[in-house]
Amino acid sequence: MLFRFLVYGALGWCAEILWTALTRRLTNRAQDWLLMGETSLWSFFLYGSIVFLYEPLHDLLRAQPLGLRAAAYLIGFWMVEFLGGWLIWKLSGSKPWDYSRSAGGSLMGLIRWNFVLVWPLVGLALEPLHDILVQLTPLVAQLFGV
Protein backbone atom coordinates (compact mmCIF):
# COMPACT_ATOMS: atom_id res chain seq x y z
CA MET A 1 0.00 0.00 0.00
CA LEU A 2 2.91 2.37 0.68
CA PHE A 3 4.05 1.86 -2.93
CA ARG A 4 0.67 2.96 -4.29
CA PHE A 5 0.49 5.89 -1.84
CA LEU A 6 3.84 7.14 -3.14
CA VAL A 7 2.88 6.60 -6.78
CA TYR A 8 -0.43 8.47 -6.42
CA GLY A 9 1.26 11.29 -4.51
CA ALA A 10 3.99 11.69 -7.13
CA LEU A 11 1.58 11.46 -10.07
CA GLY A 12 -0.72 14.01 -8.45
CA TRP A 13 2.15 16.41 -7.92
CA CYS A 14 3.31 16.02 -11.52
CA ALA A 15 -0.21 16.45 -12.91
CA GLU A 16 -0.78 19.57 -10.81
CA ILE A 17 2.51 21.14 -11.86
CA LEU A 18 1.78 20.37 -15.52
CA TRP A 19 -1.80 21.66 -15.22
CA THR A 20 -0.78 24.96 -13.59
CA ALA A 21 2.08 25.50 -16.03
CA LEU A 22 0.00 24.85 -19.14
CA THR A 23 -2.97 26.83 -17.85
CA ARG A 24 -0.79 29.86 -17.16
CA ARG A 25 0.80 29.72 -20.58
CA LEU A 26 -2.39 29.08 -22.51
CA THR A 27 -4.22 31.91 -20.73
CA ASN A 28 -1.27 34.29 -21.28
CA ARG A 29 -0.53 34.70 -17.58
CA ALA A 30 2.96 33.45 -18.45
CA GLN A 31 4.64 34.94 -21.49
CA ASP A 32 7.40 32.36 -21.89
CA TRP A 33 7.52 28.63 -22.51
CA LEU A 34 9.43 27.73 -19.34
CA LEU A 35 6.20 26.10 -18.13
CA MET A 36 6.77 26.87 -14.48
CA GLY A 37 4.02 25.14 -12.53
CA GLU A 38 3.38 24.87 -8.84
CA THR A 39 1.94 22.66 -6.17
CA SER A 40 2.06 22.33 -2.40
CA LEU A 41 3.84 19.79 -0.25
CA TRP A 42 0.46 19.14 1.35
CA SER A 43 -0.92 18.05 -2.01
CA PHE A 44 1.31 14.99 -2.00
CA PHE A 45 -0.56 13.58 0.98
CA LEU A 46 -3.96 14.42 -0.50
CA TYR A 47 -3.08 12.68 -3.78
CA GLY A 48 -1.52 9.80 -1.88
CA SER A 49 -4.77 9.34 0.04
CA ILE A 50 -6.25 7.97 -3.19
CA VAL A 51 -5.00 4.58 -2.00
CA PHE A 52 -7.27 4.78 1.07
CA LEU A 53 -10.27 6.61 -0.37
CA TYR A 54 -10.49 6.16 -4.13
CA GLU A 55 -9.37 2.54 -4.42
CA PRO A 56 -12.10 1.15 -2.12
CA LEU A 57 -14.68 3.35 -3.88
CA HIS A 58 -13.55 2.09 -7.28
CA ASP A 59 -13.74 -1.52 -6.08
CA LEU A 60 -17.24 -0.89 -4.72
CA LEU A 61 -18.48 0.81 -7.92
CA ARG A 62 -16.59 -1.32 -10.44
CA ALA A 63 -19.72 -2.97 -11.90
CA GLN A 64 -21.83 0.21 -11.89
CA PRO A 65 -22.64 2.29 -14.98
CA LEU A 66 -20.07 4.83 -16.14
CA GLY A 67 -22.26 7.83 -15.25
CA LEU A 68 -22.73 6.68 -11.67
CA ARG A 69 -19.01 6.05 -11.23
CA ALA A 70 -18.19 9.46 -12.73
CA ALA A 71 -20.65 11.24 -10.41
CA ALA A 72 -19.27 9.41 -7.37
CA TYR A 73 -15.72 10.38 -8.33
CA LEU A 74 -16.73 14.04 -8.75
CA ILE A 75 -18.34 14.16 -5.32
CA GLY A 76 -15.47 12.24 -3.73
CA PHE A 77 -12.74 14.42 -5.22
CA TRP A 78 -14.61 17.61 -4.33
CA MET A 79 -15.06 16.39 -0.74
CA VAL A 80 -11.37 15.55 -0.34
CA GLU A 81 -10.29 18.78 -2.03
CA PHE A 82 -12.60 20.88 0.15
CA LEU A 83 -11.98 19.11 3.46
CA GLY A 84 -8.23 18.76 2.85
CA GLY A 85 -7.90 22.40 1.77
CA TRP A 86 -10.01 23.59 4.69
CA LEU A 87 -7.99 21.55 7.21
CA ILE A 88 -4.67 22.81 5.83
CA TRP A 89 -6.02 26.37 5.88
CA LYS A 90 -7.04 26.04 9.53
CA LEU A 91 -3.78 24.39 10.59
CA SER A 92 -1.41 26.65 8.65
CA GLY A 93 -3.37 29.89 8.47
CA SER A 94 -3.09 29.93 4.66
CA LYS A 95 -5.06 28.30 1.88
CA PRO A 96 -2.96 25.77 -0.04
CA TRP A 97 -4.88 26.88 -3.17
CA ASP A 98 -7.36 29.67 -3.68
CA TYR A 99 -9.92 29.49 -6.46
CA SER A 100 -11.78 32.61 -5.28
CA ARG A 101 -11.06 34.35 -8.57
CA SER A 102 -11.97 31.35 -10.70
CA ALA A 103 -14.16 32.30 -13.66
CA GLY A 104 -16.45 29.37 -12.92
CA GLY A 105 -16.92 30.24 -9.25
CA SER A 106 -15.88 28.34 -6.17
CA LEU A 107 -16.87 27.25 -2.70
CA MET A 108 -14.81 29.30 -0.23
CA GLY A 109 -12.01 29.27 -2.80
CA LEU A 110 -11.35 25.59 -2.06
CA ILE A 111 -13.19 23.82 -4.88
CA ARG A 112 -13.92 25.05 -8.39
CA TRP A 113 -17.36 24.52 -9.86
CA ASN A 114 -15.93 24.52 -13.38
CA PHE A 115 -14.04 21.31 -12.55
CA VAL A 116 -17.35 19.49 -12.83
CA LEU A 117 -15.96 17.59 -15.85
CA VAL A 118 -12.32 17.41 -14.78
CA TRP A 119 -12.70 15.33 -11.63
CA PRO A 120 -14.98 12.66 -13.13
CA LEU A 121 -12.52 12.24 -16.01
CA VAL A 122 -9.63 11.95 -13.55
CA GLY A 123 -11.56 9.33 -11.60
CA LEU A 124 -12.33 7.31 -14.71
CA ALA A 125 -8.70 7.58 -15.89
CA LEU A 126 -7.54 6.27 -12.52
CA GLU A 127 -9.56 3.06 -12.86
CA PRO A 128 -7.09 1.20 -15.10
CA LEU A 129 -4.14 2.73 -13.23
CA HIS A 130 -5.53 1.41 -9.95
CA ASP A 131 -5.84 -2.09 -11.43
CA ILE A 132 -2.27 -1.99 -12.81
CA LEU A 133 -0.82 -0.74 -9.52
CA VAL A 134 -2.61 -3.45 -7.54
CA GLN A 135 -1.06 -6.05 -9.83
CA LEU A 136 2.41 -4.46 -9.49
CA THR A 137 2.29 -4.12 -5.70
CA PRO A 138 3.34 -7.74 -4.89
CA LEU A 139 6.23 -7.50 -7.39
CA VAL A 140 7.44 -4.22 -5.88
CA ALA A 141 7.09 -5.66 -2.38
CA GLN A 142 9.14 -8.68 -3.39
CA LEU A 143 11.82 -6.58 -5.10
CA PHE A 144 12.24 -4.22 -2.14
CA GLY A 145 11.52 -6.73 0.61
CA VAL A 146 8.62 -4.71 1.97
- Give the predicted TM-score (pTM) of the model: 0.90
Instruction: Spell out the SS3 assignment of 8-77.
Output: HHHHHHHHHHHHHHHHHHHCCCCCCCCCCCCCCHHHHHHHHCHHHHHHHHHHHHCCCCHHHHHHHHHHHH
Coil, strand, or helix at residue 102? coil
Q: What is the pLDDT of residues 82-138, one digit of tens each?
A: 999 999 999 999 999 999 988 889 999 999 999 999 999 999 999 999 999 999 999
Give the span between the Cα atoms of 12 and 10, in whole angstroms.
Answer: 5
- Single-letter code of the amino acid located at 130: H
Q: How confident is the model at residue 144 (pLDDT cuts 50, 70, 90)?
A: confident
Q: What pLDDT is recorded for position 141?
A: 87
Q: What pLDDT is recorded for position 145?
A: 78
Give the span between the Cα atoms of 19 and 111, in whole angstroms.
Answer: 16
Q: What pLDDT is recorded for position 42?
A: 92
Q: How confident is the model at residue 57 (pLDDT cuts 50, 70, 90)?
A: very high
Give the span between the Cα atoms of 42 and 76, in whole angstroms.
Answer: 18
- Beta bridge partners, 106, equal 112
Q: What pLDDT is recorded for position 47?
A: 96
Q: What pLDDT is recorded for position 110?
A: 96
Return the exposure string of 85-94: e unless at least 16 CB atoms fall within 10 Å of the residue's CB, then b: bbebbeeeee
Q: What is the pLDDT of residues 7-34, one digit of tens each?
A: 999 999 999 999 999 999 999 999 999 9
